[in-house]
Amino acid sequence: MAFPEFENYLKSLTDLSDAEVARISALAKERKLRKNEFLLREGEICRHKTFVLKGMLRNFGTAPDGSEHILQFSPELTWTLDAESYDNLSPARYSICAVEPTEVLQWTKNDFNTLLIESPKLKSLSEKIISRNIYNSRQRLLTALSATPEEKYEDFIKQHPGMLSRLPLKMIAAYLGISLKTLTRIRHAQLLATK
């Protein structure tokens, strides 16, 4: 197998044939990113679908005051892109950057569209992933609107159990929409409570 992590991922979620999986892999280009290297910068055009083999990316926007707000973390075995930029070839409103040394596979829009036409099973997987993304965004919006900082932090730990130890606190704060000071206070209170 060219990319065992990716091909096992596909096989675990679909019943694509070996030939189909090989065809999808054959059109992928591998890319390695150093920690803090950008995959996409705000203002550029997002020309690829990206699958994370190893490592982790973050997808973030910049507020008018220059502060960074994280929309999504993409650890291994997940997909990422700036959908609006990819669909419309418009300048990206968000940036994508490596949190850790990261290895990704990328497909150009042309190649990926060809694959979607060739393989209805890939298309159906792709639609499922897009739908799940929509549901998650809605849920995340509801949490952002309604939860207390404590609830947001607890929710994050529940939803992303393995990620806490891989992320600097300031990124978790930028994902939760709370200040680093508030996050530190919450974590301190929790540590005391569990002692």
What is the rounded distance in angstroms from the CA atom of residue 12 to the CA atom of residue 59? 26
Interaction between residue 123 and a copy of itself (CB under 8 A): no
Interaction between residue 103 and a copy of itself (CB under 8 A): no
CA dist 141 → 80, 158, 180 (Å): 19, 17, 20
Interaction between residue 131 and a copy of itself (CB under 8 A): yes
Interaction between residue 177 and a copy of itself (CB under 8 A): yes
Interaction between residue 94 and a copy of itself (CB under 8 A): yes
Least distance to a copy of itself from the beta carbon of 151, Å?
Answer: 8
Residue 79 sits at the vertex; the CA angle it makes with 7 and 173, to the nearest 5 degrees, is 135
Task: Return the number of the residue (181 or 195) whose C-beta is nearest a copy of itself.
Answer: 181
In a 13 Å sphere around the CA of 11, the CA atoms on its Cβ side amount to 14
CA dist 97 → 38, 133, 169, 172 (Å): 4, 19, 17, 15
Least distance to a copy of itself from the beta carbon of 172, Å?
Answer: 12
Residues of this chain that bind a copy of itself (CB under 8 A):
61, 63-64, 67, 69, 71, 83-84, 87, 93-94, 130-131, 133-135, 137-142, 144-147, 151, 174, 176-177
